Amino acid sequence: MATTNLTAFTGGFSILSPDYIICDGRFGRGLQLAPCEAIVERLSSGSSPIEYEVGPVSRGPHSLPFEENDGECKITIEVAGPKLPAMYRAPPSSLKALAAQVVNRCINAHRGDGGFGTFEIKNSVSYVVNPEIDLEEPFRKTFFPLMPVAALLSKSHAKGVTLSLTTAASTAFLTVSLTNIHLSIPEPGNFNPTVAQTLGDEVRDVVHRYVGEAHRKLAVRNGWFRARASQMRTGGRTTPWWGRGLEDKRQAASESLEPTAIQTATTGPSSVIIAL
């Protein structure tokens, strides 16, 4: 397949850790390059950051979420995180380049599969790896002492007893998804298990830098992200990476849909992480 146009769009843009692209047939199969490339061509350009209005539905090219269809191909740009800002500031060309890389890698390298990429997931990473920030809030807004690791990991599997993360709107990040037009893969930045896995990996990689209470806190946090990833599934829409605390207004409406059994499907055999 030709990739001349996509190469022009990416320019010097590259995916830098901890951002990543994952290609997964559950996002779509048999996608053709031409219509997906046509969508990329129509995306806005510009190297200077602009403000995107964040809302529940798309209201135009400078609002999020945003989606564009062409034939059987659909590209969606969304904001991820438990607390979303009213506006998200990003350079249009960076989002266009990320879309081009997702299309290029997943369609060309993986024979027409769909997938998604993250943009500025470092916003969440920098928050969760900081032991001085209290994220653990299991049952109410008043901060509780951290539970022992063993108790936390056993309780985190139980329905209604999951660790909750309290984050700031500044920790939000973006995802660019590539899917078949008839598929609805909701908010992978919130519900895809690879996000919890990535955050857990980042926490794990800094635990050794600390001793005492800070070390224990990050060890618990790492274990919680591992347990949480095992409860999530690709395509799910009721189990986000941050938990189900009482303060979680975004998930309140779907509490009754939460399955009682742990969902163990994570990235699956058909998924391939391109960059981490």
So what's the pLDDT on residue 166?
A: 56
State mean pLDDT over 152-176: 58
Give the single-character DSSP code of 69: E
Q: Are 73 and 35 in contact (CB under 8 A)?
A: yes
State mean pLDDT over 212-230: 92
Q: Which residue did the predictor score with more confidence, 172 or 247? A: 172
In the structure, what pLDDT confidence band is assigned to residue 268 with cuts at 50, 70 and 90? very low
So what's the pLDDT on residue 6?
A: 63
Cα 13 off chain centre by: 20
So what's the pLDDT on residue 91?
A: 94
Q: Which residue did the predictor score with more confidence, 261 or 119? A: 119
104 token code pair: 């290029």
- Name residue 114's amino acid: G
pLDDT above 80: residue 143? no
State mean pLDDT over 88-116: 93
pLDDT above 60: residue 274? no
So what's the pLDDT on residue 238?
A: 83
pLDDT above 50: residue 57? yes
pLDDT above 50: residue 16? yes
What gap in Å lies between CA 140 and CA 22, rounded to an integer? Answer: 35
In the structure, what pLDDT confidence band is assigned to residue 5 with cuts at 50, 70 and 90? low
